[in-house]
Amino acid sequence: MKRNLCFLLEYDGSRYDGWQRQAGNDNTIQGKVERVLEKMTGTFQEVHASGRTDAGVHARGQVANVHLETEMTKEEAGRYLNQYLPEDIRVIKTAVVPERFHSRLWAREKTYAYWIDMAPKSPVFQRKYIYTLGESLDVEAMRQAAGALRGTHDFGSFCTGKSKKKSTVRTLSSLEIIPYGTLLEIRVTGDGFLHNMVRILTGTLIEVGQGKREAGSVEGLLEEANRREAGFTAPAKGLFLMNVVYDQEIFCHGEEE
């Protein structure tokens, strides 16, 4: 029986070369998932994710779908994946979705979180998932700059490897800076993200927080649409894909065994 199966995935991206399969490279998350499914069904099928996370980036709520010919239930397929995937990639939930559903094309919004520590040393149990900046930041200035970034803009300054053909206009419905003691979470929701966009937004906001840029200068950056004008690309280790929103709920609430 051929069905379109959908998986809610979490992964610790620390030791991977990102989501996207690469020829001759066995160290991608997509490659690991596809290989287990090939072992399960005997046939290779491409797995589509909501977006490609870069090397070192983590996910708490990546969504991926695949058309599979199998007699297994979705729960059995999820358990099979969990059994054969490494311990740093896990299926949280499974769903059967309409045949035409596509994790990336149907995604309406995505949320990312970026974690910064203003203290010189990070909590040991989260040390691999936080960018340890070790420097106090002016959170109010960062919030003012964040306000200018919310909404619909040309984010051409906030992406690497921009193609001249494709639009760099995106809409950020939310961009918040949330302090927890010495930790800061930058949480951003948008209808789409350009390559490295969250990490460049974060780097730019950090520079505002350090006083290296004026909070009011960010509007000018948007007008420039020039990567060189924006801030540095914050390290991958602090970035998490948190959630992907579709027109309808894909996964039921509650824990799955």
Q: Which of 17, 26, 54, 247 is catalytic?
A: 54
Q: Which is nearer to its own copies, 122 or 168 (CB)?
A: 122
Catalytic residue at 54?
A: yes
Closer residue to its own copies, CB minimum distance, 84 or 246: 84
Q: Provide the minimum distance between the beta carbon of 8 and its own copies in the complex, in angstroms, as a whole number.
A: 13
Of 2, 23, 24, 83, which one interacts with its own copies (CB under 8 A)?
A: 83
Is the Cβ of residue 130 or residue 225 nearer to its own copies in the bound state?
A: 130
Q: Which is nearer to its own copies, 122 or 204 (CB)?
A: 122
Quick one: which of 237, 125, 122 has its CA closest to 180?
A: 122
Task: State which of residues 4, 20, 82, 173 lies at the interface with its own copies (CB under 8 A).
Answer: 82
Scan residues 56-75 and list those touching its own copies (CB under 8 A): 58, 60
For residue 24, the tally of other CB atoms under 10 A from its CB is: 4
Contact set for its own copies, span 172-211 (CB under 8 A): 181-182
Q: Which stretch binds its own copies (CB under 8 A): 82-90, 94-102, 163-171, 194-202?
A: 82-90
Pairwise CA distance, residues 146 & 188, whole Å:
10
Q: In this complex, which beta carbon is closest to its own copies, that of residue 129 or of residue 158?
A: 129
229 binds its own copies, rule: CB under 8 A: no
Q: Answer yes or no whether residue 87 interacts with its own copies by CB under 8 A.
A: yes
Total residues at interface with its own copies (CB under 8 A): 26
Query: What is the spatial distance between Cα 171 and Cα 109, in angstroms, rounded to a whole number?
Result: 9
Separation of alpha carbons 61 and 47, rounded Å: 16
Cα separation values, 58 from 44, 129, 256, Å: 25, 8, 22
Take residue 37 and report the two structure tokens written for it.
């499914």
Q: Tell me if 79 contacts its own copies by CB under 8 A.
A: yes
Site for its own copies in 107-166 (CB under 8 A): 119-125, 127, 129
> 44 phi and psi, to 5 degrees?
-75, 135
Residues that bind its own copies (CB under 8 A): 10-12, 58, 60, 79, 82-83, 87-91, 119-125, 127, 129, 181-182, 255, 257
Catalytic residues, by residue number, are 54
